[in-house]
Structures are given as C-alpha cells and as structure tokens.
Amino acid sequence: MSAEQDPVYAPDQLKPGNRKWARRGALGSAAAMLLFFWGNHEGNTENIYLVLFAVGLVGAVIADAVLRRNGLKPNDQ
C-alpha cells in the first residue's frame, strides 16, 4: 500500500450540506443555551459554560462567513 493513494469516501460524505440551515441551527442552539439561565441551578458556574458555548457557536458562524467571503474556504461544502 503506497502513501500516494487517495482516501476512500462514501458518496454521502462528499455531498455538500445545507449551509443556511447549519447556520440557523447553530444560532438557534446558542439562543436556546442562553434561555437556560432560568433553570433550576444555583451558582454561576453553569452560566459561565452556557455563555462560553453560545459565544463559541456564534464565533464559529462568524468565522465561517468571514473565511468564505475572503475566499479562504471553498463554497462547495
């Protein structure tokens, strides 16, 4: 087996996903996480993690949009 062989992919791995719905899902999940502030927990440790994960999701969506706009990420996937 040589190292120059192409990796094997299943046909559904190469099929591009729906970027618009992925962005909406990420932003919706971030909004839902912020709604968990009014849960049945005490202290702020959980709140810190909720905010960090929500900011991470929003940051990933923004980074994806910036990379695609600048041409550093292909638009096909």
Rounded CA-CA distance 68/70 in Å is 5
The position carrying tokens 């932003």 is 27
Q: Give the mean model confidence (pLDDT) for residues 18-38.
A: 92
pTM over 0.75, yes/no: no
Structure token pair of residue 67: 């990379």
Q: Give the max Cα distance, the chain.
A: 57
For residue 54, is pLDDT > 90?
yes
Structure token pair of residue 13: 């791995």
User: What confidence score (pLDDT) does residue 32 get?
Assistant: 94
